[in-house]
């Protein structure tokens, strides 16, 4: 079968559809012009390579000759990788939800020739899809004017400014500890006391929620609050959502117990969870969290690291056309492979003769602590650790001989930013310098290969960068660059963060309301320019930028950045106080404003050692700049010197006013404020 136009794409998702009988176009001028010239409705189908139901619909419908003929005769068919074009996905997902329909992927939306949507949905079985295609083609032929009117109404709805839609008004900002307590109370009422996480199904890890709660627990000195986070992280790390042999987390579980995941692994989830588990280990020193850090970095390095230093995007759920086949085991397989260990292995991972999941297979699912297993089965802790290590190595060797799930090998700058930030935190938590090297190599790769003449690009593959980056990419790379500067003391990383921030200020900022557009409005003419305000599985790009501006302003004393960050949080305050569940990264910024963020500068011989020790603590509210020699490369270094012998002094400052300099990390930590 001849290939369609998608054969020239870089995206693995688009390439998966390149030999469909559907006459697919990528999004672009050619397809949009064809729709206008021929007055044909546009069918936009959006998905991503690791999406299980996207694969199902492709096999059932897009590979079917009769279905393809209906699509080709009546529509201009455009296939979009949501990971390459999240701006388009945001627009048309909003449209489908405005129609009162459930969102999800694959996302299939019907547009007028002017790109304005009039109907949509997600997955359709083939017989329903063919019926829908026929009905819409008939409606367009007979009632084009009515469809056009509906499309205008939907376009007007999705084109409304978010500040108008949600009643956001910026103004004077005051932070109040009682208000933050109310946020915690509202969130904790939604916690699942039995299985951790939020009390809903399906279950997503939602790292930004637990990161905020952990910071709040640390700053309020509440062991109870911290324990709630540890409980959730242990349930996630013991669940089937975690890959117990190789490491790494799947995107979500379909049940309420973290048991059965959709098995795809996404880079952005694992970057955020790596950072969160590292913070949990810093505060608790619980080896369970360290194990998840070490295993997840091992997965990253063995499975996702590209030769130039970038990280690939995702691994599919499916292999050999079957979801989860790569990861699951029959009990008979395991009995044959590790007969001497199977008695305790069954107990550890809830293995059943007929399987603990569908089709007679078992998902490795831990519901008992290691200590309970080694005590029950009369092993010493050392014997158990050795046995578990050997079993994992044996099973992983066998599993690696199976047909692997597909992999999305494009590199996305923003997702790489999340992973680098996670690696840097893992370095602070573990002291393993290799993690820092991976992060530094990754950000160097982004700087050298994905930034051209000051502009960041979103995607990279086969030696080529493409698609100008979106706000989420800038925000994540800026965040990681700030973290890398603190870890290394190398000025070029804070310079990179400031350069990218300047670009965002000039290309993405809507000065009429003080928030950033998700897309650069000057880059392409779309039916709407959206702003991302709500934190989801990835925090909102505006909340990340607001926190970046806050941190950068403490290094640079840039009042414009201080004022904009404060303006943004003032606008969002009423929203997250009312409904904090999808606004917790904003709540984290509120916490940073409420408990003054320390501006720490360390100057003199031994500064690096002191900085590492300080950053290895779990103190949330601080930024750290350090130099082995007296310097003024950032404003917060001005007028700061070493002691009379050239040894490092630690300056702890708040709002440009410094405490008496101290010589030890222990003394510095006593100067940091907590919630009263």
Residue 21 forms part of a structural domain: yes
Residue 167: inside a domain, yes or no?
no
In a domain, 316, yes or no: yes
Question: Which of the listed residues 533, 565, 594 is the one where a domain comes to its end?
Answer: 594
Q: Return d(Cα 453, Cα 305) in angstroms, integer.
A: 26
Rounded distance between C-alpha atoms, residue 176 and residue 162, angstroms: 26
Same domain membership, residue 92 and residue 35: yes
| Distance separating alpha carbons of residues 514 and 231, to the nearest angstrom | 38
Total domains present in the chain = 4
DSSP calls for 118-157? EEEES---HHHHHHHHHHHHHHHHH-HHHHHHHHHHHHHH
Confidence (pLDDT) at 618: 87
Q: What is the rounded distance in angstroms from the CA atom of residue 456 to the CA atom of residue 412?
A: 11
Burial 546-559 (b: 16+ CB within 10 A, else e): bbbbbbbbbbbbbe
Q: Quick one: 575 and 587 in the same domain?
A: yes
Domain-embedded: residue 647: yes
pLDDT at 1: 63
Contact 144, 116 (CB under 8 A): no
Does residue 63 sit in the same domain as residue 147?
Answer: yes
Output the six-digit token pair for 620: 């949330």
User: What is residue 51's predicted lDDT score, i.e. its pLDDT?
Assistant: 86
Residue where a domain stops, chosen among 346, 373, 401: 401
Is the pTM here over 0.85, yes or no? yes
401, 424, 457 - which closes a domain: 401
CATH at 529: 1.50.10.10
Does 128 lie in the same domain as 18? yes
Q: Looking at the structure, do residues 395 and 262 belong to the same domain, yes or no?
A: no
Asked if the structure places residue 490 within a domain, the reply is yes
Same domain, 261 and 387: no
Based on the fold, state whether residues 233 and 298 are members of the same structural domain. Answer: yes
Helix 491-507 with 541-556: angle, nearest 10 deg: 130
CA-nearest of 257, 187, 200, 259 to 228 is: 187
Residues 373 and 232 in one domain: no
Report pLDDT for 379: 95
Question: What is the pLDDT at residue 605?
Answer: 98
Contact 24, 73 (CB under 8 A): no
Alpha carbon 292 to chain centroid, angstroms: 18
Residue 432 and residue 532 share a domain: yes
Same-domain pairing of 367 and 415: no
pLDDT value at residue 2: 80
Burial tier of 107 (Cβ tally within 10 Å: 0-12, 13-18, 19+): buried
User: Are 6 and 79 contacting, i.e. CB atoms less than 8 angstroms apart?
Assistant: yes
Lookup: tokens for 452: 């051209």
412 and 526 within one domain: yes
557 and 501 fall within a common domain: yes
Peptide bond into 106 cis (omega under 30): yes
Domain of residue 357: give its range: 331-401
* Residue 627 belongs to some domain of the structure: yes
Residues forming a β-bridge with 411: 460
Residue 193 lies in a domain: yes
Residue 350: phi and psi, rounded to 5, are: 55, 45
Q: Is residue 676 part of a domain?
A: no
User: With a cut of 70, which residues of the chain have pLDDT below it?
Assistant: 1
């Amino acid at each position: 079968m001849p290939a369609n136009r998608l054969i020239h794409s870089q995206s693995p998702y688009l390439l998966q559809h390149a030999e469909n009988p559907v006459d697919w176009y990528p999004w672009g001028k050619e397809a949009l012009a064809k729709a206008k010239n021929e007055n044909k409705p546009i069918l936009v189908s959006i998905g991503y390579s690791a999406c299980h139901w996207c694969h199902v619909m492709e096999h059932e419908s897009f590979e079917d000759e009769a279905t393809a003929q209906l699509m080709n005769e009546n529509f201009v068919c455009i296939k979009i990788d949501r990971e390459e074009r999240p701006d388009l996905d945001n627009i048309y997902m909003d449209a489908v939800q405005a129609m009162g329909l459930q969102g999800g992927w694959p996302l299939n939306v019907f547009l007028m020739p002017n790109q304005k949507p009039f109907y949509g949905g997600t997955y359709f079985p083939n017989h329903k899809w063919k019926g829908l295609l026929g009905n819409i083609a008939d409606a367009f032929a007979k009632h084009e004017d009515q469809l056009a009117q509906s499309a205008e109404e939907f376009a007007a709805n999705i084109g409304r400014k978010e500040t108008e839609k949600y009643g956001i008004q910026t103004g004077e900002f005051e932070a109040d500890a009682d208000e933050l307590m109310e946020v915690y109370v509202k969130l904790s009422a939604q916690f699942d006391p039995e299985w951790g996480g939020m009390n809903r199904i399906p279950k997503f890890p939602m790292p930004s929620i637990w990161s905020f709660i952990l910071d709040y627990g640390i700053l309020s000195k509440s062991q109870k609050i911290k324990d709630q986070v540890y409980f959730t992280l242990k349930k996630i790390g013991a669940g089937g959502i975690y890959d117990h042999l190789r490491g790494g987390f799947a995107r979500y579980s379909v049940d309420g117990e973290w048991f059965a995941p959709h098995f795809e692994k996404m880079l952005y989830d694992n970057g955020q969870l790596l950072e969160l588990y590292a913070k949990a280990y810093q505060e608790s020193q619980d080896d369970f969290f360290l194990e998840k850090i070490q295993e997840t970095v091992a997965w990253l390095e063995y499975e996702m690291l590209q030769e130039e230093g970038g990280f690939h995007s995702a691994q599919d759920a499916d292999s050999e056309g079957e979801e989860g086949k790569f990861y699951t085991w029959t009990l008979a397989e395991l009995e044959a492979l590790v007969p001497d260990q199977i008695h305790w292995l069954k107990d550890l991972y809830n293995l059943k003769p007929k399987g603990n999941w569908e089709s007679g297979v078992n998902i490795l699912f831990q519901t008992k602590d290691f200590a309970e297993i080694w005590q029950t089965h009369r092993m010493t802790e050392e014997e158990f650790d050795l046995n578990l290590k050997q079993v994992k190595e044996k099973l992983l060797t066998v599993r690696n001989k199976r047909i692997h799930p597909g992999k999305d090998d494009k590199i996305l700058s923003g997702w790489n930013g999340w992973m680098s930030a996670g690696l840097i935190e893992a370095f602070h938590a573990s002291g393993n310098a290799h993690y820092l090297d991976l992060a530094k190599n990754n950000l160097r790769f982004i700087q050298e290969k994905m930034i051209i003449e000051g502009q960041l690009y979103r995607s990279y593959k086969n030696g080529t960068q493409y698609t100008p980056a979106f706000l989420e990419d800038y925000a994540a790379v800026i965040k990681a660059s700030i973290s890398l500067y603190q870890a290394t003391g190398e000025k070029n990383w804070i310079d990179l963060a400031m350069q990218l921030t300047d670009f965002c200020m000039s290309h993405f900022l809507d000065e009429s309301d003080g928030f950033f557009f998700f897309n650069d409005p000057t880059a392409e003419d779309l039916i709407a320019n959206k702003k991302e305000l709500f934190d989801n599985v990835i925090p909102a790009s505006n909340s990340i930028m607001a926190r970046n501006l806050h941190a950068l302003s403490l290094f640079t004393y840039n009042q414009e950045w201080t004022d904009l960050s404060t303006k943004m949080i003032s606008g969002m305050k009423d929203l997250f106080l009312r409904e904090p569940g999808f606004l917790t990264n904003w709540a984290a910024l509120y916490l940073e404003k409420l408990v003054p963020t320390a501006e720490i500068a360390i100057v003199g011989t031994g500064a690096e050692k002191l900085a590492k020790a300080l950053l290895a603590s779990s103190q949330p509210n601080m930024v750290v700049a350090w130099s082995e020699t007296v310097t003024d490369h950032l404003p917060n270094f001005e007028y700061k010197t070493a002691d009379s012998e050239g040894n490092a002094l630690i300056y702890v400052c708040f709002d440009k006013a410094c405490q008496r300099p101290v010589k030890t990390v222990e003394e510095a930590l006593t100067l940091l404020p907590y919630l009263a």
